[in-house]
Amino acid sequence: MGDTIRWGIVGTGMMAIEHIANLKLTPGSVVTALVDPEPQSIARAEAAVGGEARVFDSPAALAASGTVDAVLVASPNFTHHAVLQPLLDARLHILCEKPLATTLADAQDIARRVEGYDRVFWTGMEYRFMPPAAEFVRQVHGGRVGALRMLSIREHRFPFLVKVGDWNRFSRNTGGTMVEKCCHFFDLMRLIVRSEPVRVFCSGGADVNHRDETYNGETPDIIDNSFTTVDFANGVRAMLDLSMFADGAENQEEIVAVGHEARLDCLIPAGEIVFAPRVGFMIPKRVERSHVGVDPAALAAGQHHGATFHQHAAFARAVRGEGPVMVTADDGLRAVAMGLAAETSAREKRVVEMSELGF
């Protein structure tokens, strides 16, 4: 590989289009190959690439072609395990979109295969790379709140979008909402808390979205709202508040860390960091607000507050030996395990110990 990283993309839906836009902003990156069984998706991706990109009929054909150095896997969740096999065999650099897989067995198998892998394998967790979230994590780890004791994450957003073949309407294809959507937040929890989860309790349901939809006589079964609490081994408690019918919320994500000395908030898309130290009863508060800016080009190149660009920049550094792999296959596996624990908890209405899943 020379200075240019030649990219192949497997799965050319909406998220792939965002990746293409951000690869155009990433120096030394070019998309040279595409794989997708849907002609309309391929046509949109070719238009987004805006140049020559070969189209292959399978991941195996792409892997054997010698036309790429790295591959983005953005195909439907349930296909990841099969798609990755020929790419790993070909020893390509891989960025696999979240979730790593939809079942624990598949995620474990991928993580096992990546052990000792001599190329970059990176699980796509864009939320880590949103500039306000990254600054929030830096400040928490720097001790600004003191000893972290509580972490809460709220995502109040729009419903799942329409996908080709409506595959994302059923948990058997996505892993369930707590895997498909919330693996991002479980990954953030582990990153911020710097410990491993011990037990998970999730109360959730499918109460508002997609209730009037049927597909081959089936009604979608995906959770659209939930509260999840997670106990970590170091004693920190974390909570996720998810609503997928809160389109009008001022901020889509709100992350709050509370330590023994202060509270720190991160608001997205406002881009605000709010610092509130403890002051004592009836003493005037000393709240400090700061704004974390995002490059306008990166902000305009997707729906993840500039994160996709920053993730690609970090991935390119790892490929060139200039930086670490920041989100490993093991990170992806553990986020899937937490999501599956939450799905089980919501379905069975009980606390799930992570030891039940082998963690």
- For 135-175, how does the pLDDT look when each residue is reduced to its tens digit (9 = 90+)? 999 999 999 999 999 999 999 999 999 998 899 999 999 99
Topology, domain 5-127:
Rossmann fold (3.40.50)
Per the prediction, the chain carries an average pLDDT of 97
Residue 132 has pLDDT above 60, yes or no: yes
What three-state secondary structure class fits 199? strand
Residue ranges, comma separated, of all CATH 3.30.360.10 domains in the chain are 128-305+328-357
- The size of the chain, in residues, is 359
Residue 329 has pLDDT above 90, yes or no: yes
Of residues 75 and 1, more confidently modeled: 75
Instruction: Note if the pTM is more than 0.85.
Output: yes
**Distance of alpha carbon 88 from alpha carbon 226, whole angstroms:** 36
Residue 48 has pLDDT above 70, yes or no: yes
In which band, very low, low, confident or very high, does the pLDDT at 2 lie, cut at 50, 70 and 90?
Answer: low
Residue ranges, comma separated, of all CATH 3.40.50.720 domains in the chain are 5-127
Under 8 Å between Cβ of 337 and 104:
yes
**Within a 13 Å sphere around the CA of 202, how many CA atoms are in the beta-carbon half?**
29
pLDDT of the residue at 3: 86
| Sequence-ordered list of residues with C-beta below 8 angstroms from that of 214, at least 6 positions apart, any chain | none
Residue 52 has pLDDT above 90, yes or no: no
DSSP 54: E
Residue percentage of the chain with pLDDT more than 70: 99
Under 8 Å between Cβ of 151 and 192:
yes
- pLDDT tens, residue by residue, 242-295: 999 999 999 999 999 999 999 999 999 999 999 999 999 999 999 999 999 999
And the tokens for 21?
């836009």
Residue 1 has pLDDT above 60, yes or no: no
**Within a 13 Å sphere around the CA of 326, how many CA atoms are in the beta-carbon half?**
20
pLDDT of the residue at 136: 98
| Sequence-ordered list of residues with C-beta below 8 angstroms from that of 92, at least 6 positions apart, any chain | 8, 63, 68, 69, 70, 71, 119
**Within a 13 Å sphere around the CA of 306, how many CA atoms are in the beta-carbon half?**
18
| Sequence-ordered list of residues with C-beta below 8 angstroms from that of 258, at least 6 positions apart, any chain | 145, 148, 149, 150, 151, 264
In which band, very low, low, confident or very high, does the pLDDT at 236 lie, cut at 50, 70 and 90?
Answer: very high
**Distance of alpha carbon 46 from alpha carbon 310, whole angstroms:** 23
Topology, domain 128-305+328-357:
Dihydrodipicolinate Reductase; domain 2 (3.30.360)
